[in-house]
Amino acid sequence: MNAFEMAQAQFDAVAARMKLDKGVADLLRWPLREFKFSIPVRMDDGSLRVFTGFRVQHNDSRGPNKGGIRFAADETIDTVRALAMWMTWKCAVADIPLGGGKGGVIVDPSTLSVSEKERLCRGWMQQMWKHLGPRQDVPAPDVGTTPQMMAWMMDEYSKLVGVYTPGMITGKPLGAGGSLGRTEATGFGVTYCIREAMKHLKMDPKACTASIQGFGNVSQYATIGFTELLGGKVVAVSCWDLKDKKAYTYSKKDGIDGRFLLTIVDQYGTIDKEAAKKAGYEIEAADAWLYKDVDVLIPAAKEGQITGDNVGKISKQVKIIAEGANGPVTIDADKEIQKRGILDIPDFLCNAGGVTTSYFESVQNDMNFYWSTEEVLKRLDDKISVAFHAVLDMSLKEKVYMRDAAYLVSIERVVKAMQHRGWI
């Protein structure tokens, strides 16, 4: 699966429905700027290794580009293009004044020492710093990167420009310009969307169950949010095992304790298998999470996980799919989900909690004044709830699938910004 081709196909379908001018559509279906560069890093053994890095800036008509930096062995320029494009729509649908960007490095970060990761982070920044900044492009963490890595990058940027500039990157640790509530933000944003969807469908969250793919940051707090904020029960999570180089599903019929799992998971989302067994968790096949008899499915790992081949095996009990990951549902799968009447909360709405709170972090950096956790999460809840209902209202008004409705809302806002600025 090519993620960028999928992102373009999704856009093309809605652009045709909107009868968007061909020139405007051509402008939006490709990034405005792309960077590909080599990063030489001196390894701990004295050898020199050269890594390939990327940064894509899709559209900044509504404000500075915004988007994470992903460290992954399977990273490609097309993946980065797709994620940058989705970030444009995500910022627009959440109605925050930012555009879409994304970055990456082709590397398995688990194979690097701490000092090698620091040198790679600083090397990435040395290649890109002239094209970044609080009013140009603001990176953030993504798969394979951490708050500590963001702090190294911010420090390197500040050295290069000669001014302490915490607002040039988000997702930083507390005490280094980070925001309270940022850790929970994406997973809680998923939870807020599910809550609003359940209100619409008249479902009682306390009587509902969920199954989740992944156990990185998004899944961790979607698990905690679903149980603690909604009162529901999560019966399964799946995650990649770095040691075994394969994925497993961890399930428990009486409900998973997300707080406990946080104590036995590493920074890459790998659950300690032996500790889970001792705690009574059943360990199943990688895709077992997808076929559970639950009310809500939350794919929150990587793109292309629910496909035309496996969507037909999803339980008839499922009423909601909440896309915590970027691009987890393929176009073929969309057709079946729509036919079955499952309410799918599209990725760039469902996981917009992260970029929204990153925006809050930048605002706090600019003010040099920081909010409490309660204030951050209250503002986040308000933003995500308004965004969800804007998309739901569009879906009901135009009688279209939720993903198409989200595109209609976001494309309209981006086009309007380009018109105001005289680009089109």
Residues classed as catalytic: 102
Give, in order, the Cα–Cα distances in Å from 377 to each of 320, 354, 395.
23, 11, 27
DSSP codes, 293-349: --SEEEE-S-SS-B-TTTGGGS-TT--EEE--SSS-B-HHHHHHHHHHT-EEE-HHH
Buried b (16+ CB within 10 A) or exposed e, 83-93: bbbbbbbbbbb
Which token pair is 27? 């402008």
One-letter amino acid of 357: T
Give the span between the Cα atoms of 157 and 163, in whole angstroms: 9
- Within 13 Å and on the Cβ side, how many CA atoms surround 79? 23
Buried b (16+ CB within 10 A) or exposed e, 116-140: bbbbbbbbbbbbbbeebbeeebbbb
**Could you tell me how many helices (H) and strands (E) the chain has, helices first?**
14, 12
Rg of the chain over CA atoms, in angstroms? 20
CB count within 10 Å of CB 369 equals: 8
In sequence order, the 6+-apart residues with CB closer than 8 A to the CB of 255 are: 227, 233, 234, 235
3-state SS assignment for residue 91: helix
In sequence order, the 6+-apart residues with CB closer than 8 A to the CB of 312 are: 336
